[in-house]
Amino acid sequence: SADGGRNLSLDSISMGLPMSDPAAWATAMNNLGMAPMGMTGQPLLPDFDPALGMMTGIPPINPMMPGLGIVPPPIPPDMPAVKEIIHCKSCTLFPPNPHLPPPATRERPPGCKTVFVGGLPENGTEQIIMEVFEQCGEVIAIRKSKKNFCHIRFAEEFMVDKALYLSGYRIRLGSSTDKKDTGRLHVDFAQARDDLYEWECKQRMLAREERHRRRLEEERFHPPSPPPVVHYSDHECSIVAEKLKDDTKFSEAVQTLLTWIERGEVNRRTANNFYSMIQSANSHIRRLVNEKAAHEKEMEEAKEKFKLALSGILVQFEQIVAVYHSASKQKAWDHFTKAQRKNISVWCKQAEEIRNIHNDELMGIRREEEMEMSDEEIEDPSEMKETEESALVSQVEALKEENDSLRWQLDAYRNEVELLKQEHGKASRDEDTTKEQQLKLLQQALQGMQQHLLKVQDEYKKREAELEKVKEDKLKIETLLETLKEQESSVPRVCACSQEKECPVDKTMSNSPVKSEREALLVGIISTFLHVHPFGASIEYICSYLQRLDSKICTTEVEVLMTRLQTTFKQELSGVGASLEKKWKFCGFDGLKMT
């Protein structure tokens, strides 16, 4: 019966194997991972190791024998499994040839609980199949086909592994040798929709549990939520105003004030209250600045203390290193043993390394202080220009913000006018006069706001034009500086070294044809320009180049200056007839040789 097959135990195996063959009995029991016992309860083999689950001298296997719900230890891949004959009530299972390769199986589907069993005897019934396979675990369903195969669904996934162990066994019904009563079992994984559905449900459940666990972990590490901000009222406003005056409660009150402003609690009725609170918040700036200065002073004092301590440590290091060096001199060195000398030299090396590290650290601190002092003392004019430019930019930004705020106020006024117009149509005749006055006042306010807005826009455009001018001036100055640098690199300086020709500086300056610093700058630029034009250039060409640098330069001024300096510039005529052209050339080097 089914109950008898399900409760198949060691007694049913012992009935098939005679006790006269103790070696075969011991092999079968060892394959089950159990110590073989005799009829009297004594162990048949004294060298059986129950901790290892195997008998000494017999290779371990991983059988799925009838009536067992345990899985023995795994088999090493290099050891062959020894399979034994399995006796059931209605049939007998004979193991396959151990030298043949293991039967092939398909890839295991996820959550597989169903197996395909082929090679069944033609006369095999569902009862015989149940008798064989229920020893692997609880069978939920058997779907048998007429073509000697069936599908078996188990309750758990691990039971499928036990069923696969029977693949390759030859089955014989009773003691019959008829072909219809024999067959070779082939057990393989089968793909079933029920298994896949259950596996997906299990995976979703595990994913939900994992998400829940992660959420609990995240909530545990989350910072606590801030307390909710109360809604605005006159009473709460007075409490917040008092808190703003208290240094200890200032941060909490400022957060409440910020939340109220962002919520849009500011209107005509509450504007004065909010202004007084903002004024209270502004009064704390001086306190914060003083606190920052006090902290900076403490930091400077701590730096000084650290520097003094570090210098004291360095002095002691120097003393220790001096001790090592004096001990290394021959007068004292000869009296030490070899081991003592080695220790002294190692200690000296370590002390020198540590001293050098501390010395580098102290020098780095001093270097940083010197750099800070030099940064404070030196003021670059280019930085001044950048600060002026940044001030203009900040003014422009401030004007933009003011422009935006005025636009928003204008929109607010327009909305109020529309609301008043709507109320005007619905109100009674008694209130018409008052509303008309309000409308007139609002219209006048609108006109004033519009005029102010136009003024602000004009000022904004002027500021932008000033900013563009400053940028252009900066570019011109940069180009002039570059040309001066090129002139200094190209035109060599000629120094009068003879004592006979020395004369006072005032006299030379009075006799010089160049009468001002501007003319000297023009001479340098024209000399550089003509130096790179060896074939000469017309006065119009020279003036067009100079007017790029300064638009106030005129042609007559340049020509008068060049005619005065005949040793530096000379004028030549080129061409014939209508193509006659006057060109100026640089002859400063020739004039230098002549002088």
Q: Tell me the two tokens of residue 232.
A: 């605005």
Comparing 74-78, 110-114, 347-351, which segment has the lowest mean pLDDT? 74-78
User: Which of 1.10.760.10, 3.20.20.120, 3.30.70.260, 1.10.10.10 is the CATH number of 517-592?
Assistant: 1.10.10.10
Query: Taking 60 as the threshold, does the pLDDT of residue 212 lie above it?
Result: yes
| Maximum average pLDDT range among 49-58, 84-93, 218-227, 411-420 | 84-93
Q: Report the distance separating Cα 126 and Cα 135, nearest Å.
A: 14
Residue 308 token pair: 């003094």
CB 137 within 8 A of CB 154: yes
Mean pLDDT of the chain: 78
- Integer Cα distance of 50 and 33 in angstroms: 8
DSSP 179: G
Least confident interval from 170-174, 210-214, 388-392, 565-569: 388-392
Q: What class, spelled out in words, does domain 86-202 have in CATH?
A: alpha beta
Does position 48 have pLDDT exceeding 60, yes or no?
no
Looking at the chain, the number of H-run helices and the number of E-run strands are 19, 12
Contact between residue 25 and residue 36 where contact means Cβ atoms under 8 Å apart: yes
Question: What is the distance between the alpha carbons of residues 283 and 245, in angstroms, rounded to a whole number?
Answer: 9
Residue 25 has pLDDT above 90, yes or no: no
pLDDT of residue 110: 92
| Per-residue pLDDT tens digits for 317-327 | 889 988 988 88
Mean pLDDT score, 407-421? 79
For 149-196, how does the pLDDT look when each residue is reduced to its tens digit (9 = 90+)?
Answer: 999 999 999 999 999 999 999 999 888 778 888 899 999 999 999 999
Return the ∠ at Cα 407 (arms to 404 and 408), rounded to 5°: 90
Task: Map tokens 């400053």 to a residue.
Answer: 470
Residue 373's pLDDT band (cuts 50, 70, 90): confident
Look at residue 428 in the predicted model and tell me its pLDDT.
60
Of 356-370, 493-507, 537-551, give the lowest mean pLDDT range: 493-507
